[in-house]
Amino acid sequence: MNTINLTINGRATSAPCEPRTHLADFIRETHDLTGTHIGCEHGVCGACTVLIDGVPARSCITFAAACEGASVTTVEGLDEDEITAELRVAFSREHALQCGYCTPGMLVSARDVVLRMEAPTEQDIRVAMSGNLCRCTGYVGIVKAVQAVVADRRARGIQPIPDGGRTRLGPAGSGNAAERGAAPAPATTMNGAISASAARPASVAQAENWKPQTTFEQSFTVAHPVDVVWGFFGRVEEVAACLPGASLNGPARDGHVEGQIKVKVGPISAEFHGAADITRDEATRTGVIDGVGKDRRSNSTTRGQIRYAVRQAETPGETRVDLTVGFTLSGMLAQFSRSGLVQDVANRLIAVFVQNLEARLAHQMRGDAGPPPAAGEFDAGSFLSSVFLGQLKRLVGRFFRRN
């Protein structure tokens, strides 16, 4: 149990908290500020949105301990806030709430829209507020209320504040810990450029006590002899060529490679740039790949380890490959690692990889002329309805049941 020091609604406070406690629980249970609602606890519904250093953030996926030195404002802290007062009146007038469960989070996000957007269209507001779900009212009244407050303020000559006063992007509350001597979180400048130190791939070496957030096992059989498959796994460029969406920046050097992988799942598109270190043990025909990557667009990072073992399958002439995959995702995409979606995508990715591997080995065995078959970008959109919507429905379902 650590003691954290931060400011909540303008009052400095200090309280013990477990490293695992998220900010929403900390605010509600330690400080009795129950205006911050908890819906999904997966970063999906936006009910728990608060301001951290003036920027809306989901308190259910923010560790309280990460807010050391930060200034947190909940909906209670916006009682005297001019924009929020105008929004409250507009929400009542436009019938923008029924049960009110989503309303604290809606007000915090709407305030940010009013603060920073000059003349948002209905579509602009819908996009800006798309991280806040309302289960009962619908969005027509909410959008009208926000648009009316913006129009009214602009008519009174109140100009927007560019970027809502933000001076830096990054994990909510980031920067405060650095001032107190802790390692700073990766920072991006406001034009989206990653600072030089953040742009460099992180060291691939796993910290001694690193433990993946999510681990799963997967096996597959390849219709080629074990020597051929083991040899194939030693040629990193060929392995990458079978992995859809993956490309290397250059040849492997001393077991170290750098490159990127693009993954698209319905509306989510990520391109992780990173590096990997590969070690192989000829005697046991096993290998370990340690990797790190960063998707600039979502400011998400991943660290992972793949262990593989290549051995004779039951059917002569075939090879069984056993994989153990462990990874940690942080940033905006972190919510999906907990929903199991990442594992579903990984399973599909591996299935496509095996198809490509088979095609490439068959091409080599036949001695076909011309280049071997190339893997395209991985677009998991084709199974969007069966997997992604299923996951999303379960997340939203949990949100509804809880309330």
Using the Cα atoms of residue 161, residue 113, residue 131 and residue 123 in order, give the sign of their dihedral: negative
For position 136 contacting ligand FES by CB under 6 A, the verdict is yes
Closest distance of CB 51 from ligand FES, Å: 14
Closest distance of CB 270 from ligand FES, Å: 20
Closer Cβ to ligand FES, 9 or 132, answer by number: 132
Identify which range of 129-137, 289-297, 301-309, 317-325 contacts ligand FES by CB under 6 A. 129-137
Which of 42, 23, 7, 35 has the alpha carbon at shortest distance from 402? 42
Residue count, binding to ligand FES (CB under 6 A) = 23
Closer Cβ to ligand FES, 30 or 260, answer by number: 30
Residues 31-60 that bind ligand FES (CB under 6 A): 38-41, 43-48, 58, 60
For Cα atoms 80, 84, 89, give the angle at the middle one, nearest 5 degrees. Answer: 105
Burial of 142 per CB tally in 10 Å (0-12, 13-18, 19+): buried
Closest distance of CB 279 from ligand FES, Å: 40
d(CA 256, CA 254): 6
Give the CA count within 13 Å in the CB-facing half-sphere of 44.
20
Closest distance of CB 377 from ligand FES, Å: 30
367-386 footprint of ligand FES as x/- string (CB under 6 A):
--------------------
Using the Cα atoms of residue 65, residue 70, residue 71 and residue 73 in order, give the sign of their dihedral: negative
Among 63, 101, 232, 378, binds ligand FES (CB under 6 A): 101
Closest distance of CB 81 from ligand FES, Å: 20
For position 102 contacting ligand FES by CB under 6 A, the verdict is yes
Identify which range of 132-140, 160-168, 233-241, 250-258 contacts ligand FES by CB under 6 A. 132-140
Closest distance of CB 197 from ligand FES, Å: 30
Using the Cα atoms of residue 126, residue 131, residue 135 and residue 141 in order, give the sign of their dihedral: negative
Amino acid sitting at position 145: A
Closest distance of CB 273 from ligand FES, Å: 28
Identify which range of 12-20, 97-105, 113-121, 218-226 contacts ligand FES by CB under 6 A. 97-105
Closest distance of CB 403 from ligand FES, Å: 8
For position 140 contacting ligand FES by CB under 6 A, the verdict is no
Which of 302, 311, 237, 305 has the alpha carbon at shortest distance from 272? 302
Closer Cβ to ligand FES, 101 or 378, answer by number: 101
Closest distance of CB 95 from ligand FES, Å: 10
d(CA 382, CA 361): 26
Burial of 235 per CB tally in 10 Å (0-12, 13-18, 19+): exposed
Which of 173, 182, 216 has the alpha carbon at shortest distance from 23? 173
Identify which range of 134-142, 148-156, 218-226, 325-333 contacts ligand FES by CB under 6 A. 134-142
- What order do you get walking across the sheet with 2-8 strand by strand? 11-17, 2-8, 71-73, 49-52, 55-58
6 three-class SS: strand
For position 97 contacting ligand FES by CB under 6 A, the verdict is yes
d(CA 180, CA 216): 38
Place of tokens 């250059």: 250
For position 64 contacting ligand FES by CB under 6 A, the verdict is no
Amino acid sitting at position 306: I
Q: Which spans of this chain sit near ligand FES (rule: CB under 6 A)?
A: 38-41, 43-48, 58, 60, 97-103, 134-137
